[in-house]
Amino acid sequence: MSNRTMRGLGLVTLVLATLLGSAYALGRGLVAEMGVKPSGSPANANVNGTRYADQPPATSLAPTPSASPSPSPQPVTNGDGDGPYGSLMSTGSSRVALTFDDGPDPAYTPQVLALLRQYGVKATFCVVGENAESSPDLIQAIVSEGHTLCNHSWSHDENMGKRSPDTIRADLLRTNEAIRAAVPDAAIAYYRQPGGNWTSPIVSIAQDLGMTSLHWGVDPSDWQAPGVTRIIQRVLSQTEPGSIVLMHDAGGDRRGTVTALEYLLPELLSRFQLEALPTGTT
């Protein structure tokens, strides 16, 4: 074969190789633009930044830093108190208020009432609607002995803040109706949100219904039944003038709370004036 022929074949081979390379590069580019996963790519691979449907959510990836991060949202205050969302967290005086949640309970509420009666102490009872409905006699006893009533939702709904305004209003009204079925002229001046999970709508609706949102300043966590000694220690170490103390007369085994009260009542009376939160003021 002549030298001229050999040079011609080499030139043709070079041209063909160049064309094939260009075609391959073009094909890869089209694949990337179309978001198609090339053959042989590992599962969940990215092509040109595209995330595939079978790729896990990027929850494990660090977020892209923001030049000017948005400030954390601040709660809206509807009440005049110093607690969450303007709820009442102290009595506003030197007096201390004992409050009892989740009742009435046929086993424990009478024992709490008897101890309060023994020491001449008035308290505030935050009652659950369905319990008020099933034990109207205990609602009557609470009122007749001069204690203050507080609405604590119909069924102790800790997620009330996630409900619609109509649902919240209906729940609070239903609870008030159950209380007033036992005591028609009962004053219900307070509402306490289960779990302390306050939201702006809850505070606003309670206020519309004539109820002050009632939080607390002292929580011995007696609902966890930590034992008599711990309940006593927590209450005495945390309570100061103006404290609102949270305890429970229902919702579980409350023997520890009742026993702790036998020691706490005379001890607290030696240090503070104890009062039931006043009714008729919001």
Structure tokens at 17: 């190789």
Structure tokens at 206: 């309670």
CB 256 within 8 A of CB 226: yes
Region of poorest pLDDT, from 34-48, 68-82, 202-216: 34-48
Is 226 in a helix, a strand, or coil? coil
The pLDDT tens digits of the residues spanning 125-169 come to: 999 999 999 999 999 999 999 999 999 999 999 999 899 999 999
The pLDDT tens digits of the residues spanning 49-60 come to: 322 122 223 222
**Residue 80 confidence (pLDDT):** 72
**Once rounded to an integer, what is the mean pLDDT over residues 66-95?**
66
What is the Cα 143 distance to its own chain's centre?
30
* pLDDT above 90 (res 79): no
Report the C-alpha dihedral over residues 156, 160, 164, 166, rounded to 10 degrees.
Answer: 40
For residue 81, name the pLDDT band (cuts at 50, 70, 90). confident
Q: What sign results for the dihedral spanned by CA atoms 134, 139, 141, 142?
A: positive
Q: Which residues are tagged catalytic?
A: 101, 248
Class of domain 84-275: alpha beta
